[in-house]
């Protein structure tokens, strides 16, 4: 059977209230999982298997702790390695709840801990062992990644965002589509309106207009996400990317995974 590679991220702002510690929105996760399952089944009936890598942000679990301890910078002069333990414990709790909610939506993904397979050097992910990810994809399973703290050869440890992991993963796996689910209807400008499309022709003029995160976010917010995605597309590591909010019935997410529909912001 023919296949298509797709990367989906359920953003921390979508599945948590990033200003309230440990606030998971299980209903949204289940709705999104059900929408993704529908897309995978629909594509399979047409003879094309979706090989899916699922991911989620750290939201109000990891970001609040990471900001409190300045974990991006590594070993804290006062708290030493304490932040590594607390962030990893928080993300493990979050991820277990995330998987349980995915199960309710008909998805049964398998988490691959970024801490175990990734290493950074001065804040940049330099190594990502993708063998277990590839093996799961080949067997028709859904591997899960998430933002996490990882070891760093210079800083001791640092934060690896989901986008940073995607960047490293895309060096080995070409993704036909990337779908990012946010708490906004795509990328918003200064006028709070959705930017329908971002391309080489308009991206420079849009960067100053892209709104940042209104809650704790140690990985750069929306602008950094757009920069990373556009860089991947420019280097030919992905076909397209779409950022959108998942509707209450999930139908627009199903369409985005299938490569149809026009909601949110398309990055080409």
Q: Summarize pLDDT for 223-262 with one digit per residue, the tens.
A: 888 888 999 999 999 999 999 999 999 999 999 999 998 8
| Chain segment 57-90, per-residue pLDDT in tens | 999 998 888 899 999 999 999 999 999 999 999 9
Q: Specify whether the CB–CB gap between 209 and 202 falls below 8 A.
A: no
For the segment 127-136, the average pLDDT, to the nearest whole number, is: 97
The listed range with the strongest mean pLDDT (93-102, 202-211, 219-228) is 93-102
Q: Give the pLDDT of residue 239.
A: 95
Residue given tokens 């942000």 in the structure block: 57
Q: In what order do the strands lie in the sheet with 118-121?
A: 124-128, 118-121, 148-152, 156-160
Dist CA 120 CA 114 (whole Å) = 11
For the segment 181-203, the average pLDDT, to the nearest whole number, is: 87
For the segment 29-44, the average pLDDT, to the nearest whole number, is: 98
Dist CA 74 CA 78 (whole Å) = 12
pLDDT tier for residue 219 given thresholds of 50, 70 and 90 = low
Query: Rounded mean pLDDT of the chain?
Result: 92
Q: What is the dihedral of CA 57, 96, 80, 120, to 10 degrees?
A: -50
Domain range list for the chain: 2-267
pTM (two decimals):
0.93
Residue 186, CB-side half-sphere exposure with 13 Å CA sphere = 19
pLDDT tier for residue 1 given thresholds of 50, 70 and 90 = confident
pLDDT tier for residue 170 given thresholds of 50, 70 and 90 = very high
Q: Give the pLDDT of residue 224.
A: 82
Q: Give the pLDDT of residue 191.
A: 80
Percent of the chain with pLDDT over 90: 77
Q: Give the pLDDT of residue 144.
A: 98
Q: Specify whether the CB–CB gap between 246 and 28 falls below 8 A.
A: yes
Percent of the chain with pLDDT over 70: 95
CATH architecture designation of domain 2-267: 3-Layer(aba) Sandwich (3.40)
Tokens of residue 89, six digits: 């414990």
For the segment 136-154, the average pLDDT, to the nearest whole number, is: 97
Dist CA 162 CA 139 (whole Å) = 23
Dist CA 189 CA 9 (whole Å) = 21
199 compared with 32, residue with greater pLDDT: 32
Dist CA 29 CA 19 (whole Å) = 18
Q: How far is CA 144 from the centre of its chain?
A: 10
Dist CA 187 CA 184 (whole Å) = 7
């Amino acid at each position: 059977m023919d296949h298509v590679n797709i990367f989906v991220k359920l953003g921390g702002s979508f599945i948590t209230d990033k200003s309230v510690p440990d606030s998971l929105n299980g209903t949204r996760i289940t709705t999104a999982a059900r929408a993704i399952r529908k897309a995978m089944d629909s594509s399979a009936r047409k003879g094309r298997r979706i090989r899916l890598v699922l991911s989620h942000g750290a939201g109000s679990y990891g970001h609040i702790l990471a900001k409190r301890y300045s974990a991006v910078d590594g070993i804290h002069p006062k708290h030493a390695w304490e932040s590594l333990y607390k962030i990893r414990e928080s993300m493990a709790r979050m991820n277990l709840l995330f998987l349980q909610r995915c199960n309710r939506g008909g998805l049964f993904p398998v988490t691959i801990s970024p801490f175990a397979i990734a290493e950074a050097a001065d804040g940049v992910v330099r190594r990502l062992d993708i063998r277990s990810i590839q093996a799961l994809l080949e067997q028709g399973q859904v591997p899960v990644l998430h933002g996490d703290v990882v070891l760093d050869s210079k800083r001791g440890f640092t934060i690896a965002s989901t986008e940073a992991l995607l960047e490293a993963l895309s060096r080995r796996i070409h993704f036909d589509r990337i779908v990012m689910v946010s708490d906004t209807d795509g990328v918003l400008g200064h006028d709070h309106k959705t930017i329908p499309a971002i391309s080489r022709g308009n991206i420079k003029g849009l960067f100053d207009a892209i709104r940042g995160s209104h809650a704790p976010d140690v990985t750069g917010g929306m602008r950094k996400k757009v920069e990373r995605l556009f860089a991947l597309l420019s280097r030919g590591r992905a076909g397209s990317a779409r950022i959108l909010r998942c509707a209450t019935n999930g139908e627009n997410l199903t369409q985005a995974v299938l490569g149809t529909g026009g909601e949110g912001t398309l990055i080409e």
